[in-house]
Amino acid sequence: MALPFPNTNTRSPPKEKIAEQGKTPRRVNSQLTQKGKSPMRRQLISWMWNLSLWIGSQKGVAMAFAERFEHHEAIGQVAAPVQEGEKGGEIIVELSGGLVKVQRPCASRDDVTEVSLDLGLTYEGMIKELKALESLSVGDMMWTIDPKQRVISTRWVVAAKNERIDGKETPIVRCRIVARDYSTGPSASQLGISSPTASGEALKLFLAAIGAEGFNILGLDVSTAFLFAWLGDEKVVVSMPEGCVRPGGEKLYLRLKKALYGLRSAALHWTRHLSGLLGKLFGLKPCPTEPCLFTGYFKNKRVFVLSYVDDLLLAGASTDDLYEMVELLRKELKLKVTADLAKDGKIHFLGREILRSEPGGDLKFGMDPGYMQDVLEEYKLENAKGLPTPPCLRDLLDKSLDEASLQVPLTPEAAARYRRALGKLSWLSATRGDLVYYISVLARGQSSPLEVHERAMRAVLRYLKTVVHYFQVFPRQRHSHMLLRAYVDASWGSERSVERRSISGGCLMLGKACIKSWARLQQSVALSSAESELYALVEGSREALGARCAVGHILGHEGEIVPHIYCDSEAAVNISKMEGLRKLRHIDIRACFIQTEVQAGAIKVFSVKGTENPADIFTKYGTEYQKHLDGLWAVHRKLWVVVKTMSNLSDHWAVEWPARCAYWKQTESFFERLSYPVYTSYVDGCAAGLLGNDGLPIAKRWRVMELQWPELFLTARLEGVRQRDGTSGKSRGTDQRYNGQYG
C-alpha cells in the first residue's frame, strides 16, 4: 500500500491525520542537513554537494563493489535516528550524484497482512533501499524529462521480515521501490520479454541426478537480485515514489541502467545476467529447453545449478568446491547460504522440503506433513478417521446425475473454501504425483462447484490423512540404469458425468525416479478402447520427446536419447508400429504422428501387462493401486507385507521379517553369499506413516537392504526402536508381540 507522508508544502500532515493524532509532525534534522529553513540555503548546499561529488569522480575516487555496499549498508543502519511514535520527519541522502529528501511516513502497514508496522523500522528500511540503489548504480537522477518520454510510476512495497543478526532473529521492515509497469496492450510473451522459470520437471531432473550421485546441495538466496541486471539499450525512466523528492520539494526521476522490481522485463534481464555470470565464472551452460538448469565442471568435477528467480540450488560432489564457488559469486552478487544439505539434512525450496537422512543417501522430496492441516480444519476433518483405501470418485459423480440433491450449487463461502482446498492440492501434487487423477476430477467443479464436488473433496481429504507422510524418493542409482521411460494408460468411456470421454494418464521415469505424472480428460469421445489408449500413447510420446533434451543435458549425454514408451494395450502398440491408416482415418493425425516417430527411431514402443503398468493409478481406482504407488514413491506406509518380487520399474519393495524367523536367517545368509552389491539404507516408521492400533506413529527404524539386480527380491529387517522427538507420544504397537502383526 502507498505510505502516507506529511504535506511538505504546508509543513503539516493531512487533515485526517491531524484529527486522528491531534498534533503536527515533527521535523527530524540529520547531521547531513542544515538547521536553516531557507530554500536558497538548501539549494546552495545541494550545489556544493554535487560539485564535491564531481571533483571526487575526476580524481578517480571509487570504492570496490563490496566496500561500497558495506559502506552504504552501515550508513543505512544509522542515518535515520528516529524513535517509535514520531510522526513525520525527513533526511537528505545521496542518490545517483544528487540529493534526495526522504520523508518519514506518518503510518505504515504490511502490504500482505495489512498489519501496522513500526515507523522507525519502516524508515530504516526506506533508507536502506535507497542506499542499495546508490551502491549498485541502478540509474541516473533526472530533474527534467522529454514530454514524449514514457514515465513509469513507482510505489513503496513494505513487508515485515525476520533477519538473523549476530545469531539472533531480529525483526526488520523490508521496503522495496517497485515500478508500476503494467498496461492493457500486448502480453509479455507477445513482446518477447517473458522470463523463464524452472519447471517441476527441471527440479525433479535436478534431484534425480543429485540423488543418483549422492552429491551435496547448497541453498542460496540472492538479495536484491534484479538490481544487478543491466538493461542494455532499453531506455526506461521512472518517477521516484511518494516521500522521495528534491531538497526543494521538486519531483525526481530516475533513468534506469539496471532492472527494477516491477518492470515487465526485469526477470528476463536477471535470468540473462545470471546465465552470463555462471558461464563466465565457471563455464556452466544452460539447458536449451530448461534455461534455468545449468550443468558443467568446476575443478574437473561435475556441478549443477538450478535457479528460480533469486533462489538457487548449487550441487556437486565436493562441499569445499561448492563453498569456493559461492565465494566467487559473492564478488558479483550479494547472496547468502540458506541451507547445507550435508550439515542440516534439510533444505526448504519453494515451500517444499528436500531431505537426506545420511550423507550420500537417497533424497526425499515432499511437503511438510502439516501443509494440509488448515484445509482439514476448514472442513472439520482434523479428528476424522482417515480412509485406508483411495476413494472411487467415478461412482460418486455418476450417482449424482440421478440425485437432484447432489446437483445443488455450493454457497459462495463453501465454493471459496472448495477452491482454496483445490489450489493447495494442486500445489501438493508437485511432490505427490499419485494425486493427479483426483485433482483432475475435482478440478471439473472449480468454476461452479456442486454438492457432489464437496463430497468428493471430503473423500479425498480423508484418504490424504492416511498417506500424508509420503515423500517421493530419488534413490542412488547408476547412470547406465537411468533410462527415460514413459508409462501410459487410458480409461474408456467409464464416466457418464463427462459424457463418456476417456482419461489419459501417464508418468515419466528416469531410472527409478518419477519426474512427471499427469491425468488429462480427452477432448473427444473414443470409439474403442484401442483409440483411447492410442490417445494416451501419443500424449506420453509427446511428453517423453519434450523431456529428452533436458535429460540428455542433466546426464551429460551428447547423442540423442531414445525414450521407451510402455502401454498395456496391444492394439494401440500395433497401430503405432504399422504403416498406413486403414480404418483409422478419423484419428489420422495422432496415428500418423506416432507412426512417424516410431519409424524414425525417435521413440520405441513396448507392451506391458496391465497389472505391471504404474500409469493405471492416473486413470482409475483399482485393486493394484497400493502396489503401483509403492513402485513409484518407494516409501511404504506398511512395511509388513508379503514378499513381492521386484519389477523392472522399481526395486524399492520392502518386507519385514522377525529377526528370530528361520526364513530370515536363510535369506540373510543368501545375501552374504551374493557377489552382487548390496546397499543398506534406513527408513523411519514415523516418516513412512506407520501407525499402531492406538493410532499413534510407530517409532521404528528399519534397515533396508537393496540389491541392484532386477530379478531378486528386497527384504527389510527390524533394526531397533527409536524414541521420537517432541511430546506427541509413541505407539505401544511398536512391540511385535503386542500389535499382532505376526501370526
Cell of 135: 551502491
Quick one: how far is CA 589 from the chain centroid? 36
> Which of 7-21, 254-268, 296-310, 445-459 has the lowest average pLDDT?
7-21
Strands 656-657 and 715-721: parallel
Cell of 728: 506427541
Cell of 433: 504425483
With a pLDDT cut of 90, the percent of the chain lying above it is 32
**Is residue 742's pLDDT more than 70?**
no
Q: How confident is the model at residue 87 (pLDDT cuts 50, 70, 90)?
A: very low
d(CA 500, CA 523): 11
Where do we find the cell 440425485? Answer: 403
**Is residue 572's pLDDT more than 50?**
yes
Average pLDDT over residues 82-103: 66
Instruction: Collect all residues with Cβ–Cβ distance below 8 Å to 141 and sequence separation of at least 6.
Output: 95, 96, 97, 98, 100, 252, 253, 254
Cα angle value 400/404/408 (rounded, 5°): 90
pLDDT of residue 660: 45
Per residue in 620-674, pLDDT tens? 765 455 665 655 544 333 333 222 333 333 333 344 444 444 444 555 555 555 5
d(CA 683, CA 36): 73
Per residue in 143-164, pLDDT tens? 888 888 899 999 999 999 887 7
Task: Report all structural domains of the chain as residue ranges with CATH numbers, in order of start.
Answer: 1-204+223-292 (no CATH), 373-466 (no CATH), 475-618 (3.30.420.10), 636-739 (no CATH)
**Is residue 16's pLDDT more than 50?**
no
The SS3 assignment for 138 reads: coil
Please list the alpha-helical segments (H only) found in 59-118.
65-78
pLDDT of residue 743: 26
46-50 contacts at long range (C-beta below 8 A, 24 or more positions apart): 46/98, 46/99, 46/246, 46/247, 46/248, 49/94, 49/99, 50/97, 50/98, 50/99
Better-scored residue on pLDDT, 576 or 69? 576
Q: Is 51 exposed, middle or buried (CB count within 10 Å of its CB: 0-12, 13-18, 19+)?
A: exposed
Average pLDDT over residues 30-40: 43
Mean pLDDT of the chain: 75
Q: Are 261 and 178 in contact (CB under 8 A)?
A: yes
**Is residue 731's pLDDT more than 80?**
no
Quick one: how far is CA 11 from the chain centroid? 48
Cα angle value 136/137/139 (rounded, 5°): 135
**Is residue 421's pLDDT more than 90?**
yes
pLDDT of residue 191: 73
> Which of 201-205, 296-300, 554-558 has the lowest average pLDDT?
554-558
Q: How confident is the model at residue 726 (pLDDT cuts 50, 70, 90)?
A: very low
Average pLDDT over residues 434-455: 90
Q: Are 458 and 451 in contact (CB under 8 A)?
A: no
Per residue in 163-218, pLDDT tens? 777 767 888 999 999 999 887 677 777 777 778 889 999 999 999 999 999 999 99
Q: How confident is the model at residue 58 (pLDDT cuts 50, 70, 90)?
A: very low
The sign one gets for the Cα dihedral 12, 13, 16, 20 is: negative
In the chain, how many H helices and how many E strands? 21, 28
